[in-house]
Amino acid sequence: MVELRGVRHRYEGRLVLDLEHFAVRDGALLAVVGHNGAGKSTLLRLLALLEAPTEGRVLLDGVTVPRRAPAALRRRVTLVEQRPILFRGTVHHNIGYGLRARGVGHAVADRMIGEIVERLGLGPLLSRRRHELSDGEVQRVAVARALAVRPDVLLLDEPVSSADRASAGALYRALAAERAARPLAVCFASHQLEDAYRWADDIRALADGRLSPVTPENLFRVELPTGGGGSDTMKRVRVGGIEIAVMTDRTGPVVLAVPPTDIFVSREPLPSSARNVLAGRVTGMAIERRGAGVHVTADVGVELVAVVTAEAARDLALAPGSPVVFSFKASAVQVF
């Protein structure tokens, strides 16, 4: 596990990162989302032991890393930057560079390279050089080069920013296969919330160098069937003990997201055009910091979170254990 504690980092006198605690735990697949300039790249460079924070500590497996991290520690954490630089030579030469630097024999190195190449679909590119590759292909080669040396933690800065959707999916599936084959923690930064929702186990958001709330509630990984009920785009999919109606022409594995602010809350079913009307009981309530709303958690066959105004919560007399009905339109369900 690599983590930051009490970190405040400045660049040219400006505070660019302010984190009380941030950790990439063993075996994690963590996404960091945020707009350009939010501090994502700086965060990754600190986690990669390439820079030392202005204040605070970086720890690896609970041990504080010296400000000048030894090479043995840096080799355990590998960063692939958004615009990676390839060495001279072929793709095969690039992927094997780290193995040769570590003294791995040719036979073993070729076997390890072959495994990575197969997972990332790089076979047709092995004899090409940098000027013969697209930007997306360069990113994939750089990821392959990083995976070949088998780091404990792999950090990726916008790893699919130059890739089409098919190539992006292939990369994330390759990372999943690598994590299934051996212990590996992955943390990737992305401005595409869709990638974070679809592929990550945990999501953190950065805004102006600080952790910011995201909306990880009401996310469900499901398999969307072919066809539907009533139209080409209306589908009903089982989520836990309930069915959710969703408007989409997508099929196969996806993530469904029901925005908490799109859920209508009542004590009894009301006349409505909403296709999803789910009755249950309140299991928890939390007031937002600024008091602008109340997060109502209910068991309606699955756990869902809705946001209502404080006034609505009072009028409905919502409290843990009280009956509640959550209603939302099929078109409100987002598909990633």
pLDDT of residue 25: 92
Same domain, 264 and 207: no
Please give the C-alpha separations between residue 26 and each of 21, 44, 245, 265, 313, in angstroms, as whole numbers: 16, 16, 36, 39, 40
Domain boundary among 212, 239, 256: 212
**pLDDT bucket at 141, cuts 50 / 70 / 90:** very high
- The residues, any chain, with a CB within 8 Å of residue 230's CB and separated by 6 or more, are none
Q: Are residues 253 and 176 in the same domain?
A: no
Give kind and range of the element (H or E) at residue 21. Answer: strand 14-24
Higher-pLDDT residue of 90 and 252 is: 90
Q: Looking at the structure, tell me whether residues 303 and 174 fall in a common domain.
A: no
Cβ atoms of 330 and 285 within 8 Å: the answer is no
Residue where a domain stops, chosen among 192, 212, 232: 212
| Phi and psi torsions of 208, nearest 5° | 55, 40
Nearest CA-CA partner of 172 in 184, 181, 162, 159: 159
pLDDT beyond 80 at 193: no
What residues have CB less than 8 Å from 46, skipping those under 6 apart? 4, 7, 9, 17, 52, 53, 58
pLDDT band at 215 (very low <50, low <70, confident <90, very high): low
Pick the last residue of a domain from 158, 186, 212.
212
User: What's the rounded Cα separation, in Å, for the pair 82 and 205?
Assistant: 18
**pLDDT of res. 290:** 42
Say yes or no: 196 and 228 in one domain: no
Q: How confident is the model at residue 243 (pLDDT cuts 50, 70, 90)?
A: very high
142 and 65, same structural domain?
yes
Give residue 214's pLDDT. Answer: 58
- Per-residue pLDDT, averaged over 246-270, amounts to 89
Stretch 57-70: mean pLDDT: 93
Does position 180 have pLDDT exceeding 70, yes or no?
yes
The pLDDT score that the predictor gives to residue 317 is 93
Residue 162 or residue 13, greater confidence: 13
Say yes or no: 92 and 199 in one domain. yes
Sequence-distant (6+) residues with CB within 8 A of 276 are 244, 245, 326, 327, 328, 329, 330, 333
Q: Rounded to an integer, what distance in angstroms lies between the CA atom of residue 200 and that of residue 203?
A: 7
- Tell whether the model's pLDDT for residue 301 goes beyond 60: yes
| Confidence (pLDDT) at 216 | 58
The overall pTM is greater than 0.85: no
Nearest to 5 by CA among 225, 13, 17, 14: 17
Structural domain boundaries, residue 205: 2-212
Name the more confident of 205 and 330: 330
CATH classification at residue 32? 3.40.50.300
Q: Do 112 and 185 belong together in one domain?
A: yes
- The closest of 328, 295, 334 to 312, measured between CA atoms, is 295
Same domain (yes/no): 189, 159: yes
Residues 168 and 244 in one domain: no
User: 40 and 139: one domain?
Assistant: yes
Q: Is 88 a residue whose pLDDT tops 50?
A: yes
**DSSP alpha helices (H): ranges in 54-105?**
71-74, 91-101
Q: Give the DSSP letter of residue 271.
A: S
Distance (Å, whole) CA 326 – CA 316: 13
pLDDT-based confidence at residue 194 (cuts at 50, 70, 90): confident
Overall number of domains in the chain: 2
Place of tokens 């520690």: 73
CATH code at 244?
2.40.50.100
Helix, strand, or coil here: 142?
A: helix
Between 192 and 237, the more confident residue is: 237
Query: Residue 230: what pLDDT?
Result: 45
pLDDT in tens, 261-292: 899 999 999 888 899 999 999 998 887 544 45
The side-by-side arrangement of strands in the sheet containing 334-335 is 219-224, 252-257, 334-335
How far is it, in rounded angstroms, from Cα 1 to Cα 266?
44
Give the pLDDT score at 105: 86
Same domain, 228 and 155: no
Alpha-helical regions (H) of the chain:
40-47, 71-74, 91-101, 106-120, 135-148, 165-181, 193-199, 310-315
Work out the mean pLDDT of the chain and round it to a whole number.
87
Asked if 152 contacts 185 with a C-beta cutoff of 8 angstroms, the reply is yes
Share of the chain above pLDDT 70, in %: 96
Q: What is the DSSP letter of 275?
A: S
Same domain? For 183 and 240 the reply is: no
Give the chain's end-to-end CA distance (angstroms, integer). 29
What does the pLDDT read at residue 254?
81
